[in-house]
Chains A and B, each alone.
Chain A
Amino acid sequence: MGSNMAEAHPVGFQHVVEAKRRGAKVIHIDPRFTRTSALAHTYVPVRAGADIAFLGGVINYILSDEKDFREYVLAYTNASMLVNEGFKDTEDLDGLFSGYDPETNTYDQSTWQYASHEEHGRSTGNSHVARDTASALRHESHGSPLPGGDVARDLTLQDSRCVYQILKRHYSRYTPEVVEQVCGVPQDTFLEVCEAWTANSGRERTTALVYSVGWTQHTVGVQYIRTGAIIQLLLGNVGRPGGGVMALRGHASIQGSTDIPTLFNLLPGYLPMPHHRQHETFRQWVDAIRHPGQKGFWANAEAYAVSLLKAYFGGAATAENDWGYGWLPRLTGDHGTYQQALDMIDGKIKGYFLLGQNPAVGSAHGRAQRLGMANLDWLVVRDLYMIESATFWKDGPEVATGEVVPTECRTEVFFMPAASHVEKEGTFTQTQRMLQWREQAVEPPGDCRSELWFFYHLGRLVRDRLAGSAAPRDQGILNLNWDYPVHGERGDEPSAEAVLKEINGYDSATGEPLPGYLSLKDDGTTACGCWIYSGVYADGVNQAARRKPGSEQDWVALEWGWVWPADRRTLYNRASADPDGRPWSERKRYVWWDPEAGEWTGYDVPDFEKTKPPTYRPPEGATGVAAISGDDPFIMQGDGKGWLYAPGGLIDGPMPTHYEPAESPVRNPLYHQQANPTRKVYDRPDNPINPSPPDRHVDVYPYVFTTSRLTEHHTAGGMSRHLAYLSELQPEMFVEVSPELAAERGLEHLGWAHVVTTRTAIEARVMVTDRLTPLRIEDRIVHQIWLPYHWGGEGLVTGDSANDLFGIALDPNVLIQESKVGTCDIRPGRRPTGPELLAYVDEYRVRAGVAPDRYPHVLTPRADKPEA
C-alpha cells in the first residue's frame, strides 16, 4: 500500500515473487493498476489521499470483532494504559484533539499523556518549534520521550480511559460503508482485505506490510504509517519473522543518508541538531536526548553524544570545553529544503551545494526551486550529467516565460562532475538498515571524483584559508579532526574504510576499533561517528563487506553485510517470543530465552539484553535500561511498549485521523475539520494552493492527480534520461487517464494533453488505459490521473516536469511535502508557451478565486462564510 514495489524496487520485489511462489497471498492497494498489481492476487483501487480512512476501517474491523492477538496486545503494547481524563478525541471535537491552539495551529499535548503523567504536563508553547525543526525525525531510532514512573493499567481493557477503548471509540465510525464513501473501495473488496489480513496473523502466521513514499509524501504522511503500525501491533506482526512495517527507501543509500544525515535537523544516529534556544548548553542538549529518569536504552545518550563530539574534534574536545559542543552550529527555526528554496527567492541564502539532487525536476513546486536557485551568489552542482538544476538559468521553463533572463541571472554555477557508484568505494545502507560494502570497479573518467574526495579536499582547503584565525566562528572548523589517509591511482582519494572505522568508533587512546555501541563512554575515552553504526568495523574487520552466500548459511543470513543496530536483522525481535520467552509457535520461532544457558538465543541477534530473564521486574524507582522489564520488547520506547496510542512526540495527534489532502475535490466526510489542522503551510503569493471544500470554486481543478516512478527511469532522470538504453524504453512524458475521463475531456490516445494547477500547466502525451478507473466517492464520480515525474529539459529525452504542478504543503512532523496527491484540470492539446503560459495559469487562478492575499484555512472555519 502506498508502494509500487515491482516498478520502483524491482530487485527487492524478487522476494515478494518468491513468497508468492511459496503460497503467500499478495494484496496491492493503490490508486492505479501498476506492474505490482499485475503480480498481486488482489488489487484494490483507492482514492489517493484516503489511506487512513481505509486503514482506520481495518482497525475498526479488528476491534469490533476482537480479532486482535490479545496476548501480544496485552503484554507488548500500551493497550491497557490509562490516558489523562482531560483527553478529548476527534469524535468529541469534530476533527480536532484536545489542546488545539488556533494561533500557532499546533496542540498543547498535555492532555494526551498517560493518566499518571499528568503532573509532568508537557511544555505548552514548543509544539510549533518542534514542527519547524521536524523533531519527529529523531524517532527513526527510538520512541518519543516519556516521563518516568509506572503507568496505571487496566489489564481487562474495560476502562473507558484505557488506550484500547479510546482506540475503539476513535475508529468506530470507520465502517465499511464509510470506507466505501471516502476511498471509493467497494465494501466486499474492503472486507476481503480485512479477512485476509486478520486470518493471516496470529500465533502461527504473520503478515508483512510494505509502504513507500506513496504513504510518506502527504500532509498526514507520518500518520499514514502510524495507522499501518497500529494494525500490525494489534495483529502481533511486529518484531516477528514475516511481519513488520517495511519502508522501502527511494534510492540506493537513502537510509544511510538519514542515519548519517544530510538533513538540517539531525546529527548522526538521530541525535538532534542543537537548537539555539532549547539547547543552549551541553547539559540541556544531552538531557533533551536522554530524559533523565526515563526507561530504555536512550538513557545512555550522553555516551553517544560525547563520542560523536570526540570523533568530530578529537583531542580538542575535552570535558572542560564540553567536548566542543559550543562549536556545533545551531538551529534557529525551519531550515528545511522548502523553507530554504523560499529563503533563496527572498535573497536570504547566498550559496548552495547540490549533490546527487536535482530539485529543478525532483522537488515539489519546481518553479519555486528554480526561481530560488536563480537568486543565489553561487551554486555548486555535483552530478554525473549536466542536469536541469545546473542549466535552469539558460534554458529552464522560466527562461521561456521570461521570468529568468540568462544574461541577467546573478547565480554563478559551478558544475563538478561526479564519480558514479562503480567508480568509488564505500557502503550502501539499504532499506533493511543493512550496510553493504562496495569496491571501486573502475577509476572515474576525467575530472570525475567521489563525494568523499570533494568534501575532504574542500575541508582541507577551507581550513588552510582559515589557519590562524582567532574568530570564534572559525574554531569549530579549525578544530575538526580532519585527517584521513589517501590512496588510489591518483594518490588523493581518501580511504573510505578509514571513514567507516571512524563511524564505527575507536578507543581515543589506542585507536582500537570498538566492538559496538555498548562500549561507548561519556568520559571522552571513546570516539564514534555514528553510535547506531558502532560494530560495523568490530575486530578491525569491515563487517559490511561480508558476502557469505545465502546457500551456505541459515535463512537469516547473519554473515551477509551488517545491519544496524548491533547486526540485528529484525528490530524488537524479543516480541517473537511470548512474555515467558518461549516462541509464540514452532512455525514462527525466531528469538527465544534459553533457561539452561540463562540467555536469549535464536537465529537473529536478540534485540534485548542477552542475560535479562523474561521474569525480570525492575526495582522501584529504576531508570534507564534497568527499568526495562523482562517482557518489554520495545526497548527504545520510553515505556518498553509498542504504541497503539502516542501520548507524545507527534505534532498532529496521538491517533491517526482521516483528513483530506491539502488539495482535494472532496469535503471531509468524517469531520468538520477538512485537512490536517497542524500541517505546515507557506502562505505566500509564489506558493498558491488550489481551493478545497468547503471553499468554493473547487470545480476549477476537479481531478485528483498523483505522480510516481517508472522502472525505466530514475527519479529526476539524471541517471537515466542521459542513457540511450533507458531513454528508449520510456522515451516521452505521458499522462495516464481512464477511458471514461478521456471521453469526458475529449483526450485522444497518444495525442497531447496539458494538466493545470495554480502553479503552472504542463503538457504530456495521453495514454488512455484501463489501468485507471474512476471512483465513486459518496454520490459522485471522482477521476484520478497519473503522471511520471522523470522528465525535464536536459538529456536524450525531454519533457515537462510533473513536480512543477505541486505547491508546498508539508507534514508537520517531518516536513515532507505533499507530492503524492493534488487537484488539477486536464485539457486536450498542448499548453501555451512563453508569457502566454503565465496568463493561461493566471486565468485559471482568477476563476478559482485564488489571490495573493487569500489562502486556504488551516483550521476549517466554523461560521458559514464561504469564500466569495
Chain B
Amino acid sequence: MAGPNSLYGPVDPAPDAGYVDAPPRVGFFTDTSVCIGCKACEVACKEWNLIPDDGFNLLGTSYDNTGGLTANSWRHVAFIEQPTAGRGAGTDSPGAFAAMPVGPPASAQTAVVAAGTAPDTGTEPGVPPAVDALAAAGTIAPPATGPQFLGMPLPDLPGRMMDAPRSDFRWLMMSNVCKHCTHAACLDVCPTGSLFRTEFGTVVVQEDICNGCGYCIPACPYGVIDRREGDGRAWKCTMCYDRIGDGLTPACAKACPTESIQFGELDELRARAERRLESLHEQGETSARLYGNSPDDGVGGDGAFFLLLDEPEVYGLPPDPVVCTRDLPAMWKRAGWAALAMAAAVVVSFGRRP
C-alpha cells in the first residue's frame, strides 16, 4: 500500500507494508538513566538467539569489551567515562572529585588506545589533537605514535576536552540495539527480500534467504547491520520475532534488572518516555533528552528509541540519521526530467532535419 510517506516521513510501517489488521507497532524504550551496565541484555540475547561469541578481546574502552553492534552482538552496552571540570551538573553536590588531588583526566588517552583495539572497522582510527596537547604539557605519557583521528567515538565531544583538573565525573552506560526504523534503509535496499517488515512493525533478516550481498550494510544510517565472518550473511536484532509472536517479552528486556530496556507498544512507550523525561528535567537532569522517538526525524522515528543523558555523539550515535531513500522521489523526478530533456533534445535534433 505505498502511500505518500512510504519512503520518507511519519507513517505506521506495518499497514504501509501491506498488513491488514496489523497488531499495534511494538518497540524498545531504552532508558539509559537507569542502566547499570550489567550486560545481562547482551548475554540474554546471545543465549536466546544462539549467537556465537565475539572473541575474547580486552578493548580498553572502559568496561566495554564488545566494541559495537556486530553480526555477533545484537545488543551492545556502551560505557562512557566522562570527567568534567566544575561543579556537579544540576545538583547542589560539589561533584564526585571536587577537592580531590587530581590531575588531568585519563579519558582522552585511554580513548586513543581504545580506538586502536576495537575490532577492525575498515577505517583507520587515530589521535585527537587534544591528547597531543596534553602530552606536550608533559602531564601524561604521550600515546604511541599512530594514525590521525578520523572520527571514532570519543567519550567527549570534539572541542569539549577539558584541560582543567576534573572535579566531577559521570559514567554513562547505554545498551544499544537495532533501531527498527520506520523507514528502514536496510530493508529498502535488500535485493532478495530477505529483510522484511513484520506485522509488529519491526525489521527482520531471514537467514535462509539472505545471499550475503551486503547492500544493507552501508545503507543503515546507524551502522547496525553486519555480515558474519565465515558465513557471509547479514545478521542483526530481530526484536525476538520468535518470542513476541508468542506474547513473550524479548530476551534483553526480560533480563534487564532495572527496566532500562522496556518493551511494549510503541505509542505507549513514547508517552512513557515523555513522562520520564519530564521527571528527570524536574530533578535537574537538564541534559536528558530523547533520541529516535520523533516520527518526524530522518528515519520516520525509531522502533527502538532512547533516553540519553548527553548528545548522541557521546554514545557513538549519529546526531541526525537519514534514510537513504529520502531523496529517492526527488532523484527519480530529476531522472525523469533528465530523460524527458534527453528525449526532447533527441526530438529537437532530429526535428531540425529537413
**Stretch with Cβ within 8 A of B (4 or more), from A329-337, A400-408, A479-487, A736-744:** A736-744
CA A13 – CA B63 in complex, angstroms?
19
Most buried by A among B37, B55, B96, B105: B96
- A6 on the B face (CB < 8 A): yes
Q: Mark B239-274, 1 if CB is under 8 A from A, else 0.
A: 000000000000000000111000000000000000
Give the complex CA separation of A732 and B98 in angstroms. Answer: 32
Interface segment among A48-56, A409-417, A504-512, A768-776: the answer is A768-776
- Which listed residue, A7, A727, A743, A769, touches B56 by the CB 8 Å rule? A727
Task: Decide if A725 touches B43 in the complex (CB within 8 Å).
Answer: yes
CB-CB < 8 A to B117: which residues of A?
750
**A730 to B65, Cβ gap below 8 A?**
yes
A762 and B40 CA atoms in complex are apart in Å by 30
Stretch at the interface among B107-115, B122-130, B323-331: B107-115
| 5 more A-B residue pairs beyond the given contacts A732-B58, A739-B104, A770-B83, with a C-beta to C-beta distance below 8 A | A33-B169, A33-B171, A39-B34, A192-B93, A768-B106
Q: Please indicate the chain B residues that have their CB under 8 angstroms from the CB of A738 in the complex.
A: 102, 106
Contact with B along A486-519 (1 / 0, CB 8 A): 0000000000000000000000000000000000
- Bound: A43/B97 CA distance, A: 8
Contact indicator A37/B96 (Cβ below 8 Å): yes
For B39, list chain A residues within 8 Å (CB): 711-712, 729
Assess whether A743 is in contact with B139, with CB atoms less than 8 Å apart.
yes
Would you list which residues of chain A between 708 and 735 have a CB under 8 Å from chain B? 710-712, 724-732, 734
The stretch from B3-11, B16-24, B46-54, B211-219 touching chain A is B46-54
CB atoms of A10 and B40 under 8 A apart: yes
Given A728-B54, A728-B66; A775-B43 close (CB under 8 Å): no
Judge if A17 is at the interface, Cβ distance under 8 Å: yes
Nearest CB in chain B to that of A737: its residue:
B106
State whether A767 touches B47 (Cβ < 8 A): no
Q: CB within 8 A of B65: which of A17, A45, A731?
A: A731
The 6 A-B pairs with the shortest beta carbon distances in the complex, nearest first, are A731-B56, A739-B106, A186-B99, A38-B171, A724-B53, A732-B58
- Assess whether A796 is interfacial by the CB under 8 Å rule: yes
Closest to A747 in B: B141
Give A728's nearest chain B residue, CB to CB.
B53
Check B101 for interface membership: any CB of A closer than 8 A.
yes
- Alpha-carbon gap, A360 to B125, bound state (A): 41
Q: Which residue of A lies closest to B139 (CB)?
A: A743
Docked complex Cα distance between A43 and B46 (Å): 34
Interface string of B71-99 (1 = CB under 8 A from A): 00000000001010000000101101111
A38 to B37, CA, bound (A): 10
- Which of these, B46, B62, B91, B114, contacts A41 with CB under 8 Å? B91
Does A620 touch B at the CB level, under 8 Å? no
Q: Are A748 and B141 in contact (CB under 8 A)?
A: yes
Q: With an 8 A cutoff between CB atoms, is A189 at the interface?
A: yes
Say yes or no: A39-B65 contact (C-beta < 8 A), given A725-B46, A728-B55. no
CB pairs A–B below 8 angstroms (25 shown): A10-B36, A10-B40, A10-B258, A17-B34, A17-B259, A20-B34, A35-B173, A42-B93, A42-B96, A189-B99, A711-B36, A725-B43, A726-B43, A727-B56, A728-B54, A728-B55, A730-B63, A734-B58, A739-B106, A742-B141, A743-B141, A770-B83, A771-B169, A773-B97, A773-B101
| B43, A43: Cβ atoms closer than 8 Å | no
> B215-238 toward A: CB 8 Å interface, digit per residue (1/0)?
000000000000000000000000
Determine whether B170 belongs to the interface, using a CB cutoff of 8 Å to chain A.
Answer: yes
CB-CB contacts of A1-38 with B at 8 A, as 1s and 0s? Answer: 00000110011011001001100000000000101111
Residue of A nearest to B58 (CB): A732
How far, in Å, is A3 (CB) from chain B's closest CB?
14
Residues in A with CB closer than 8 Å to B56 are 727-728, 731-732, 796-797
The answer to whether B99 and A743 have CB atoms under 8 Å apart is no
Report A-chain residues with C-beta under 8 Å of the C-beta of B55: 728
A189 in contact with B63 (CB, 8 Å):
no
- Is A188 positioned at the interface, with any CB of B under 8 Å from its CB? yes
Quick check: B102 and A774 within 8 Å, CB to CB? yes
Indicate which residue in A33, A732, A742, A796 contacts B106 across the interface (CB closer than 8 Å).
A742
CB pair B101 A781 closer than 8 Å: yes
Contact of A740 among B63, B102, B170 (CB under 8 A): B102
Query: Does A685 reach chain B (CB closer than 8 Å)?
Result: no
Q: Within the assembled complex, what's the spacing in Å between the Cα atoms of A43 and B42?
A: 28
For chain A residues 532-573, which have a beta carbon within 8 Å of chain B? none
State the B residues within 8 Å of A (CB): 34, 36-40, 42-43, 46-47, 53-58, 60, 62-63, 65-66, 81, 83, 91, 93-94, 96-107, 109-110, 113-114, 117, 139-141, 166, 169-173, 257-259
Complex Cα distance, B96 from A186, in Å, reads: 11
Known A-B contacts A725-B47, A728-B56, A728-B66; A749 and B36 likewise in contact (beta carbons under 8 Å): no
A749 in complex: contacting residue of B40, B110, B166, CB < 8 Å:
B110
Establish whether residues B105 and A775, one from each chain, have CB atoms under 8 Å apart when the complex forms. no
Tell me if A765 counts as interface (CB < 8 A to partner B): yes
Residues in B with CB closer than 8 Å to A121 are none
**Contacts A38-B36, A749-B113 known; A770 to B98 CB distance under 8 Å?**
no
Query: Chain A residues near B258 (CB, 8 Å)?
Result: 10, 13-14, 17
CB distance from A216 to the nearest CB of B (A): 23
Judge if A746 is at the interface, Cβ distance under 8 Å: yes
A45-B96 contact in complex given A37-B171, A38-B170, A728-B54, C-beta closer than 8 Å: yes
Alpha-carbon distance between A766 and B139 when the two chains are bound, in angstroms: 18
Closest to A732 in B: B58
Report whether A769 and B81 are in contact in the complex, using a CB–CB cutoff of 8 Å.
Answer: yes
A738–B83 Cα distance when bound, in Å, is 13
Q: Inside 8 A of A36's CB, which chain B residues have their CB?
A: 36
Asked if A742 contacts B140 (CB within 8 A), the reply is yes
Tell me how far the C-beta of A208 lies from the nearest C-beta in chain B, rounded to whole angstroms.
Answer: 18
Contact B100 A11 (CB under 8 A): no
With beta carbons under 8 angstroms apart, the residue of B40, B94, B173 that contacts A189 is B94
Q: Which residue of B34, B39, B63, B106 has the most chain A CB atoms within 10 A of its CB atom?
A: B106
| 58-83 of chain A: CB within 8 A of chain B | none
- Complex CA gap A773/B63 in Å reads 18
Do A13 and B53 touch across chains, with their CB atoms under 8 A apart?
no
The answer to whether A14 and B259 have CB atoms under 8 Å apart is yes
Q: Which residue of A lies closest to B53 (CB)?
A: A724
- Shortest Cβ distance from residue A725 to the other chain B in the assembled complex, whole angstroms: 5
Q: Which of B98, B140, B257 contacts A14 (CB 8 A)?
A: B257
B103 to chain A, nearest CB (A): 5
| Max chain B Cβ within 10 angstroms of own Cβ: one of A11, A734, A750, A774 | A750
Given contacts A10-B257, A728-B53, A750-B60, contact A770 B166 (CB under 8 A): yes
Q: Are A45 and B97 in contact (CB under 8 A)?
A: yes
- Also in contact, A750 and B113, with CB within 8 A (given A7-B38, A765-B58, A773-B97): yes
Q: How far is the CA of A44 from the CA of B93 in the complex (A)?
A: 11
A734 to B47, CA, bound (A): 26
Inside 8 A of A781's CB, which chain B residues have their CB?
Answer: 101
B127 to chain A, nearest CB (A): 13
